[in-house]
Amino acid sequence: MLMKQKQRSWLITGCSTGLGYALAEYLIGSGEQVFATARNADSLHKLTEGHDNACALTLDVNRKEDIQAVVKFVEQRGGVDVLVNNAGYGYIAAVEEAEEDDYRKLFETNVFAPVALTRALLPGMRKRGSGHIVNISSVGGMIGNPGSGYYAATKFALIGFSESLFKEVSPLGLGVTVVLPGPFRTDWAGRSLQMARHPIAAYKKTVHDRVSDMNLNSGQQPGDPARAAKAIVTALNDPTPPLHLVLGKPGLDMVREKLAALGGEFEQWADLSQSADYPESER
């Protein structure tokens, strides 16, 4: 697990804006060693300039060559203590509206890229017997909303991946945390949000009106990326870091409501659920 006493090295994806930028900025200011990455490393000049403990690296998470080059670079410098799989983007479209190329690209960035980076760095962490994987999911990884079917599927996938990974690597001295932010003031609902190219009128009230509300509220979300960054570091500094970390009160309220509803539904149908087993007399 992580040790607070020594300077840690962090590899963070998607540092050009939002939570990735805020986390890298906070860690650099705290004296940690930070490998900040973005598709264009020049966009990180302001973040890393003048800091001996920060390095900007070019990393398109969908390019195997970039992943290999970055992993080789950091391993030659002693490896990383913490990998933060933050790069990703939002996509809003009704299930019927979405085009295959669009949702496949979404899965490549939001799911398969974190998997690839995790797999590339695990051998070094395993050999050293220490390290932590942080996967940035979303409250949308527990709650499916209209228009978010494909996005939610990617974030649900990250949670399941993280839970299984935790059970595999925790006996080896490694840690895993999956982070579930609620609504934060990032570019998620702004510049980086992608939407259906050919809307279908039948989904106006369920999907399109929601998109309009999101656009109106973009930039007014209660979540503060700087405070989220501090919360993530605080959690990882704990002797027993959480496997799941929800960020923001609205997100926590939504997750609590979902868990309560899920528990109620399971209880309502418990008898029917249990009726699917062989009778005890036949086991």
What digits encode the pLDDT tens for the residues 185-200? 666 555 567 778 899 9
The single residue listed with the structure tokens 């973005």 is 38
Query: Is 151 a member of any domain?
Result: yes
Residue 63: count other Cβ atoms within 10 Å of its Cβ: 14
Among the residues of 7-148, which ranges form H helices? 18-29, 45-48, 64-75, 100-107, 113-128
Q: What is the CATH number of the domain that holds 267?
A: 3.40.50.720
Give me the mean pLDDT over the 4-24 stretch. 90
Q: What number is the average pLDDT over the span 195-216?
A: 84
| Residue carrying the six token digits 């992608």 | 194
- Give me the pLDDT at residue 195, please: 76
Whole-prediction pTM value? 0.93
The residues that are catalytic are 137, 151, 155
What pLDDT is attached to residue 213?
Answer: 73
Q: Does 210 fall in a domain?
A: no
The secondary structure of residue 63, as a DSSP letter, is: -
Tell me the per-residue pLDDT of 85-125, one tens digit each, with 9 for 90 and over: 999 999 999 999 999 999 999 999 999 999 999 999 999 99
The per-residue pLDDT for 146 is 94
User: What pLDDT is attached to residue 105?
Assistant: 97
Residue with tokens 């090295």: 9
Asked if the structure places residue 25 within a domain, the reply is yes
Which one, of 84, 87, 67, 63, lies nearest residue 75 by Cα? Answer: 67
**What's the start-to-end Cα distance of the chain, in Å?**
42
pLDDT digits (tens, 9 = 90+) for 242-282: 999 999 999 999 999 999 999 999 999 999 999 999 998 88
Is 140 within the bounds of a domain? yes
Q: Domain for residue 276, yes or no? A: no
Write down the pLDDT at residue 3: 43
Q: How many domains does the chain have?
A: 1
Residue 78 falls inside a structural domain? yes
Residue 215 falls inside a structural domain: no
Residue 161 domain flag: yes
Given a cut of 50, whether residue 1 has pLDDT beyond it is no
Instruction: Report the pLDDT value the prediction gives residue 187, as an integer from 0 to 100.
Output: 63
Q: What value does the CA radius of gyration of the chain take, rounded to a whole number of Å?
A: 20
Where do the DSSP E strands lie in the chain? 9-12, 33-38, 54-58, 82-85, 91-92, 131-136, 174-181, 194-195, 244-247
Please give the residue range of the domain that contains residue 175: 9-89+109-188+223-271
